Each structure stands twice: as structure tokens, then as C-alpha cells.
Amino acid sequence: MRGSPLVVLVVGVSEDSGKTLLAASLVSALRGEGVRAAPFKPYGATELWRHPGILGEIARRRLVVTRDALIHARVSGLPLELVNPAALIVGVEDASRRGWRPLHAGPPLPRLGVLARLSVCRGERVDTLHLVNIEALERLPRGLQGPVVDAAAALSPHPLRAGDEMIDRLVRGGFHAEVESCLGRLSREADVIVIESNSDVPLPSPSAYAADLVLVAAPGVAGVVEGGRYRKSLEALGVVRGGIASVSEVVGLAGVARSVELPLLEEGELYRPADLGPILDEVLSLLDRPPKAGESD
């Protein structure tokens, strides 16, 4: 019997590659097999301009949440703070005040992060810190500033005023120990932890280095990479020492053991266990548990 949970890392070749859909579907399929599976997205972000409805969710829940975390919490039934300890709402700069340049061609993410949350697990208690980036707030188009201020006013606990420097520290992993405290709590009650990375980051948190299996999400297909080979690639490219590499570079060096074609789904749907096929079988075999008859045929 394993002394610690099996760790599956889900990474993507781009920002919108389907990581959340793949990770949530795997958690759902494993739970259907009787496996205690838990999702974990250390760092999550939602773009306000693309998903303005997120402000309503934030005000209703009185908590900074991301779209991905909402999906993971719905599938797993676990608290949002546990499945996504660090959350960021990304705004956009007023183009009229920056020479009408393309919206995504300018400042780095910290300058656009307007609301943030950091949750820390201490035993059975979860302490949450909310931040409002005053500098980013002032860069928003005036029509967006009011709704963001209203959402911030609803937060509990009330947000602290912050600036680009603090958001930059959060985005760059300056709170890894705090974030991973919630992973420790999940690990005590789970057989499998499915860690979802953010954007095309190959190693979202230190614990992801120990992944037993790595899934690479791309539109319409998923790649399966053996965990040991992925670790060697991370080491060879210097990622574990703070070096920068893309998922494509790490996976290109590690090699993909197999590819699994995935169907096109409607908004809100999950992949069925049969869709995941070899992926589900691989995870169950690592757990030394046979799949239910007919589930992945």
C-alpha cells in the first residue's frame, strides 16, 4: 500500500489548452471508480475582461475565486480555498492611456492583477488574506473600476491594499510554503492528487516535481509522460534551480509515451471515463487497482 498519494501533474502547451477540463474529468472519473481523488491548482487566474461574471461570483461568495477553481470545487465537493490556495483576478489597462497598443502586448501580469487571495491551511483551520492592487486598479478603464471596487467591498476578510510588488511576489511563487500547506491537508485524505499547472508553466509548485505521471493537455489530445522522465527533463533544463523553460521544451526532451485523442465537448461538460481510456487505466494501474468492468473499453 502506498504511504502517500499518487501525484498526477496536468500541464498544457498553452494558456487555453484544456488543462482544467482534463484535470477535473480525471478527478471525476477516479471518484467514480471509488478512488479518493482531489484536484489541486496551486495558482489560478481569471481574466476579468473575458469573464466579467466572475465578479458576481466573488461578491456572492465573499471570496476571490477563479473559474478553474469553481469547476474543481464542483467536481470534487472540496472547499475552494483548498483546491486553489492562490487566486488572481487579472484586469486590463485602459488602452486610451497607453497609446492604443494591443491589450496583451504591454505590461507583465503583476501590473494587471487587481484582486488576489492567498489561503493558508493551519491544521483544520484555513486563514485567508485578500489583496486589492491599488496600482492595477488605477490602470483599469474607468467603467471597470466601479465593479471591481464593489466586489472588493464584499470580500471577507476585507482586502488589504497592495501594489505591483506584492502581486509580483505572489505570481512568481514567493508564497510556495503557504500554498503547499493546503496540499498537505488534501494529501492526508486522498489516494490521488491531480495537480493542475497554470498557463504553460512546467512546474507550478515544488510538490509537482514528485509527480508519478504527467499529462500534457492540448486541444483534442492529451499526452502521457512518465514522471521520472519528466523530472530528468526539468533537471536538465535547470527548471528545478529556478531556470525558465516552457512545457513544450520539457515534454520535447522527456518524450511522450502515448497520445490519447479527446472529443469536442459542449461548455460545462466533462470527459467520460471511456473518453479518458488509457489515462484512467494508467492511473489505476499505478494504484494497483483494476478498472471497473467495461468502464474504459
Last residue of one domain, picked from the residues 180, 211, 228: 180
pLDDT for residue 107? 46
Please name every residue paired with 160 in a beta bridge, in sequence order, or none if there are none.
Answer: 131
237 shares a domain with 154: no
Q: According to the model, what pLDDT value does residue 110 have?
A: 60
Residues 137 and 231 in one domain: no
* One domain, residues 134 and 235: no
Q: What are the strands of the beta sheet with 258-261, ordered from one edge? A: 37-40, 192-196, 6-12, 213-218, 221-226, 258-261
Tell whether 210 and 237 lie within a shared domain: yes
Q: Same domain for 90 and 151?
A: yes
Angle at 229 between CA 208 and CA 203, to 5 degrees: 25
DSSP-based three-state secondary structure for 213: strand
How many domains in the chain?
Answer: 2
Same domain, 155 and 54: yes
b/e burial code for range 44-56 (CB count within 10 A of at least 16 → b):
bbbbbeeeeebbe
Do 32 and 46 belong together in one domain?
no
Position 291 scores a pLDDT of 66
Helices (H), the chain: 19-32, 54-61, 67-76, 80-83, 134-139, 142-154, 164-171, 176-187, 227-236, 247-254, 273-276, 278-286
Residues 174 and 195 in one domain: no
The pairing of strands 125-133 and 160-162 is parallel
Q: Does 245 lie in the same domain as 158?
A: no
User: Which of 180, 211, 245 represents a domain boundary (last residue)?
Assistant: 180
In a domain, 185, yes or no: no
Tell me, yes or no, whether 8 lies in a domain.
yes
Query: For residue 286, is it within any domain?
Result: yes
Does 7 share its domain with 89? no
Are 48 and 162 in a shared domain?
Answer: yes
Which of 180, 215, 248 is the C-terminal boundary of a domain?
A: 180
Alpha-carbon span 226 to 251, nearest angstrom: 10
pLDDT of residue 217: 97
Residue 202 lies in a domain: yes
Mean pLDDT for each 10-residue chunk of the chain (297 residues)?
A: 86 92 98 97 94 96 97 97 96 81 54 94 95 94 95 98 93 91 94 95 95 97 98 95 92 97 95 97 90 53
> Which structural domain range is residue 107 located in?
42-180
